[in-house]
């Protein structure tokens, strides 16, 4: 493990007072950046590709989210991604893939866009028939042989290859497809997914996934969901009957293919195929939730058994606070990546060697409810992810005998001159601050202030109701405010306005 990645990251966003845990979490946010110059520089209304026939209806080339101007597309809704990937870390081409995307046209389309940065596209078909393709910046423009009718279900298949490049953003840092000494660490919030698979890369279009990943002998690919094949492991175990078969990685002398299935809808940025030497452990939490943990044995001070047990404990405890676990399995991945952030990749967050302590685990696993199951519709509402996960982190900190929630709140509130906190409204932080301190800390403070206002019982009922009503879907800040008002029976618009949308420190 090297520390090169840390020095490469801009430290501006990270308050000096925050410890490593906060760093890692701040990085979780970092798992974020924006491919500036995607659509920013692309012609917003590209001309029809050659041979597409002139004109004809085309889907929008963006989801219209001003925080990530190039991301997402319109005119269709994806139901499923089937990604067949051969990954050769350090190879001339690290990735050779086929993406089979099943979607429904929401309007008549003679062409539509997918997001894809870099990589060579060899062939595109729509419903099995060859389609025209054109590249423009981070857009892959597809013109089917025959226009798609509104409400038609279709499958677009893209054969592609190349070496994905990390996203490097001057404000947000470096993330996405990150090479490690023995593989790749894949963490893509918010705009990195389309560096490794063609997609409708915006959380407003979630879909189920199948991964079929082939890696060289001795390596393991860990993705989201659950394996539907054996999983090679350098070390680890499975409880018989509780999970997939773990096979010794050393026993394989040939490339190994592992399949993973994600049965619940997932935002593209939460997808991972992290590859390396891993010990893998599977089983169930004491509360009965299937769990899969993977640890790179070269990461110092992290043991697979202890990490696995902590994931189980935190998951079960968060169920008591937030309601039923939203997904078919939990867990986590610790890799020797030179990044200083963790990310809440669905089912099992990814952690670097620099931070997987229990408060960070609480943060990332809380995201399984808030961010992963209930996703943002637009990135402006990112406090609905980060404020909630930060609050869970504070709850955990109090539980293990560190700072109490109230002391945390009071300490932050007392810092009246903190411009990062009080000058940036977390409900409308602006792109440059979408992973800034206000979204995290003032977001968490908003929840604590709400708790003081409505009482413990109503507060946790609000969180559970939000998680339940928006499960596997998405939500907005006004929708959350409505839930809080309905459950508490109080009018809260002035309260939320002061905490989320106004500059200046709210009165207590």
Q: Which residues bind Zn ion (CB under 5 A)?
A: 28, 386, 389
Tokens 């970092």 belong to residue: 30
Q: 348: which 2 tokens?
A: 């099992």
CB of 50 to Zn ion, least distance (A): 44
Q: Are 183 and 333 in contact (CB under 8 A)?
A: no
CA-based R_g, the chain, Å: 22
Q: 275: which 2 tokens?
A: 């590859």
CB of 11 to Zn ion, least distance (A): 18
CB of 181 to Zn ion, least distance (A): 26
Closest CB to Zn ion belongs to which residue? 28
Nearer to Zn ion, 310 or 363 (CB): 363
CB of 500 to Zn ion, least distance (A): 17
Q: 434: which 2 tokens?
A: 């979408």
Nearer to Zn ion, 234 or 371 (CB): 371
Q: Are 38 and 137 in contact (CB under 8 A)?
A: yes
Nearer to Zn ion, 277 or 470 (CB): 470
Nearer to Zn ion, 28 or 141 (CB): 28
Nearer to Zn ion, 111 or 470 (CB): 470
Q: 349: which 2 tokens?
A: 């967050």
CB of 343 to Zn ion, least distance (A): 8
CB of 363 to Zn ion, least distance (A): 6
Nearer to Zn ion, 190 or 236 (CB): 190
CB of 23 to Zn ion, least distance (A): 12
**Cα(1)–Cα(332) distance, integer angstroms:** 19
Q: What is the largest CA-CA distance in the chain?
A: 67
Length of the chain: 508
Q: What are the strands of the beta sheet with 167-169, ordered from one edge?
A: 167-169, 173-179, 184-187, 273-276, 220-223
CB of 408 to Zn ion, least distance (A): 16
CB of 389 to Zn ion, least distance (A): 4
Nearer to Zn ion, 158 or 384 (CB): 384
Q: Are 207 and 76 in contact (CB under 8 A)?
A: no
CB of 499 to Zn ion, least distance (A): 19
Q: What string of DSSP letters covers 211-262?
A: EEEEE-TT-EEEESSEESS-EEESSEEE-TTTSPPEEEGGG--S-EEEEEEE
Q: What string of DSSP letters covers 71-90?
A: ----SEEEEEEEEEEEE-TT
Q: Are 384 and 477 in contact (CB under 8 A)?
A: yes
Q: How far apart are the first and last CA of the chain?
A: 46
**Cα(401)–Cα(223) distance, integer angstroms:** 34
CB of 293 to Zn ion, least distance (A): 19
Nearer to Zn ion, 133 or 385 (CB): 385
Nearer to Zn ion, 30 or 133 (CB): 30
CB of 443 to Zn ion, least distance (A): 10
Nearer to Zn ion, 10 or 130 (CB): 10
Vertex 111 angle, CA 109 and 116, to 5°: 130
Q: Which helix (H) or strand (E) holds 130?
A: strand 129-130
Nearer to Zn ion, 78 or 463 (CB): 463
Cβ within 8 Å of residue 134, ≥6 positions away:
46, 49, 50, 140, 141, 143
Q: Are 273 and 223 in contact (CB under 8 A)?
A: yes
Nearer to Zn ion, 171 or 389 (CB): 389
**Cα(431)–Cα(88) distance, integer angstroms:** 35
């Amino acid at each position: 493990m090297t520390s090169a990645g840390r020095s490469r990251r801009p430290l501006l966003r990270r308050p000096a007072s925050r410890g490593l845990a906060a760093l890692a979490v701040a990085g979780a946010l970092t798992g974020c950046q924006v491919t500036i110059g995607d659509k920013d520089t692309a012609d917003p209304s590209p001309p029809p590709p050659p041979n597409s026939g002139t004109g004809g209806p085309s889907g929008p080339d963006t989801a219209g989210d001003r925080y990530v101007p190039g991301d997402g597309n319109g005119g269709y809704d994806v139901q499923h991604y089937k990604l067949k990937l051969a990954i050769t870390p350090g190879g001339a081409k690290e990735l050779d893939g086929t993406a089979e995307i099943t979607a429904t046209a929401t309007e008549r389309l003679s062409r539509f866009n997918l997001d894809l940065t870099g990589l060579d596209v060899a062939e595109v078909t729509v419903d099995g028939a060859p389609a025209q393709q054109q590249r423009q910046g981070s857009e892959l423009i597809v013109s089917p042989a025959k226009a798609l009718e509104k409400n038609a279900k279709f499958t677009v298949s893209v054969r592609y290859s190349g070496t994905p490049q990390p996203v490097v953003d001057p404000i947000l840092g470096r993330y996405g497809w990150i090479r490690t000494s023995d593989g790749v660490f894949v963490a893509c919030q918010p705009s990195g997914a389309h560096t490794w698979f063609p997609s409708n890369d915006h959380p407003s279009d979630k879909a189920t996934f199948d991964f079929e990943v082939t890696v060289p002998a001795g390596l393991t690919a860990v993705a989201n969901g659950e394996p539907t094949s054996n999983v090679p492991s350098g070390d680890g175990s499975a409880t018989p009957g509780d999970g997939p078969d773990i096979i010794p990685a050393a026993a394989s002398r040939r490339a190994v293919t592992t399949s993973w299935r994600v049965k619940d809808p997932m935002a593209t940025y939460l997808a991972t195929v992290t590859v390396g030497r891993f010990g893998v452990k599977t089983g169930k939490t004491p509360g009965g939730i299937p769990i899969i943990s993977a640890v790179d044995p070269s990461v110092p001070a992290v043991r697979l058994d202890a990490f696995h047990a902590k994931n189980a404990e935190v998951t079960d405890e968060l169920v008591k606070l937030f309601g039923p676990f939203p997904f078919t399995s939990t867990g986590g991945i610790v890799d020797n990546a030179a990044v200083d952030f963790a990310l809440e990749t669905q089912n099992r967050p990814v952690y670097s060697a620099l931070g997987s302590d229990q408060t960070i685990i609480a943060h990332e696993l809380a995201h399984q409810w808030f961010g992963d199951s209930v996703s943002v519709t637009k990135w402006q509402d990112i406090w609905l992810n980060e404020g909630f996960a930060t609050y869970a982190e504070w709850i955990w900190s109090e539980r293990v005998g560190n700072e109490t929630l109230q002391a945390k709140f009071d300490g932050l509130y007392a810092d009246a001159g903190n411009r990062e906190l009080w000058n940036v409204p977390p409900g409308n932080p602006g792109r440059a601050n979408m992973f800034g301190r206000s979204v995290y800390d003032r977001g968490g403070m908003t929840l604590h202030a709400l708790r003081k206002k409505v009482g413990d019982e109503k507060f946790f009922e609000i969180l559970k109701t939000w998680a339940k009503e928006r499960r596997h879907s998405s939500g907005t800040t006004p929708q959350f405010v409505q839930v809080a008002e309905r459950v508490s029976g109080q009018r809260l618009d002035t309260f939320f306005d002061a905490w989320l949308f106004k500059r200046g420190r709210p009165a207590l």
